[in-house]
Structure 1
Amino acid sequence: MRSLIASLSLLLALLAAMPAQAQMTFLPEIRAGISARGVDTGNLLDANRIGDANVELLFTAPDLNAWTVIGELRPHLGATMSFRGQDSYGYAGLSWTVQAPILPVFVEASAGGVLRSSMFNAPQNDPARNLGCGVGLRVAGSVGINLPLGASVIATAEHLPDFGACGTPQRANTNVGIRLGFRF
């Protein structure tokens, strides 16, 4: 127990000794919001489809930005939790953000992988455990408006294709949502 307390004290002392700016450059942005699931089946404005909460962390990777002429390329890590009994999922990948020259507007494209909760809680022989269904791809597009004090409002559309791996023909999922972002 003493060694644990000593280790935690040392870790806190080291973190406190680091400049505040260096601590925040690794994680420059956090986003959180709500989304509506399955909008590709129609009735986009149905409020009953809203049932997911999302959080996303965007990291800094200076070596990735060395080759981009316009925009900012950043790794991201996120999670979407369903409050309506559907699959929750975690995702990771790269986001490319392009800022408008004069206006406080930006667009973003993201691509990466997704891990759905069905991979773990579906019955043993359920197709939801198949590669491409439980583990698959995620692509997203966003439009955002920068607000004062490093905040932003972001509208996002994401698509999680399964390529027929879930036992049904193309049971892809398209979601739309709104998020609030904070840059540090």
Structure 2
Amino acid sequence: MRRVLAMIVAVVAIAAGAHAADLVPPPQAAVPIFVAPPPAPPSFLSEVRLGVTAHDPGGQESGSANLSGEILSGRPFIAADPILNMLIPRFHVGGSLNFNGQTSFGYAGLTWTFDITPEIFIEGSFGGAFHNGKIDPVPHRDALGCSALFRESGAIGFRFAQNWSVMAIVEHLSNAGLCSNNRGLTNVGLRVGYTF
């Protein structure tokens, strides 16, 4: 009888142990130490650029240089298709200050950036500008014809670090023949950009 009682106790103990083991939660998977932060919401300010340009080489005002600066917005929205995404422009505003008292100007417009590779890109921009130069012919000055001008620019750039780029730029201002004089103004130079 004692033997039967001992066997019953042993069976109950084993069964109880099995049920207790079933109640223990399975071991948790290891949680990574580093968790990436959620993506930041898009910001209006996307990039700042600063550079130097040769002022109107070969023109009436040649022989001086400009300090040029520009800020760019982010794209207003992002397309799923990368090709379509490149067609979405960014808004820009900038200025060019001549070091020798020649024509300086401020401008605003739209910029399109096309990535050739992850590091190399080309850009085109179009917009308007206001200047402090001469409208009518004056010796050694460009006769720009209107106070408000169209501005176009093109650039080729290289991203040499995660947030930094350098680019060669050419920009042209003219009134497209809408005023009596239309000498136009072309600057060429280099810029460094910092992307936020």
Name the residue aligned to 2:161: 148
Cα pair 1:80 1:89 within 8 Å, conserved:
yes
Give the CA deviation at 1:37.
1.4
Give the distance between the partners of 1:153 and 1:77, measured in 2 at CA.
18
Deviations 1:108-151 (A, max 9, x none): 00000001024xxx6xxx648x9962101000000000011310
Name the residue aligned to 2:95: 79
Name the residue aligned to 2:190: 178
Find the residue that maps to 2:101 and give its secondary structure. coil
Deviations 1:27-61 (A, max 9, x none): 1100000000112549xxxxx83410000000024
Cα pair 2:136 2:145 within 8 Å, conserved:
no
Among 133, 136, 160, the residue aligned to 2:149: 136
Give the distance between the partners of 2:75 and 2:161, measured in 1 at CA.
24
Cα pair 1:34 1:50 within 8 Å, conserved:
no
2:34 corresponds to 1:34? no
Deviations 1:133-182 (A, max 9, x none): 210100000000001131000100011113456654x3111110100000
Q: Which has the larger radius of gyration?
A: 2
2:68 corresponds to 1:54? yes
Give the distance between the partners of 2:96 and 2:194, measured in 1 at CA.
18
Among 139, 150, 175, the residue aligned to 1:162: 175
Name the residue aligned to 1:105: 120
Find the residue that maps to 1:28 and give its secondary structure. strand
Cα RMSD of the aligned pairs, angstroms, is: 3.1
Deviations 1:73-127 (A, max 9, x none): 1000001001111111000000000011x45100000000001024xxx6xxx64
Q: TM-score when scaled to structure 1?
A: 0.70
Equivalent AA in structure 2 for residue 77 of structure 1: V
Cα pair 1:132 1:162 within 8 Å, conserved:
yes
Equivalent AA in structure 2 for residue 57 of structure 1: I
Give the distance between the partners of 1:76 and 1:145, measured in 2 at CA.
19
Find the residue that maps to 1:86 and give its secondary structure. coil
Give the distance between the partners of 1:60 and 1:172, measured in 2 at CA.
30
**Runs of 4+ in structure 1 over 6 Å off:** none
Name the % identity. 35
Find the residue that maps to 2:45 and give its secondary structure. coil
**Runs of 5+ unmatched residues, structure 1:** 1-18, 43-47
Equivalent AA in structure 2 for residue 58 of structure 1: L
Give the distance between the partners of 2:136 and 2:188, measured in 1 at CA.
26
**Runs of 5+ unmatched residues, structure 2:** 1-37, 138-142
Name the residue aligned to 2:7: none
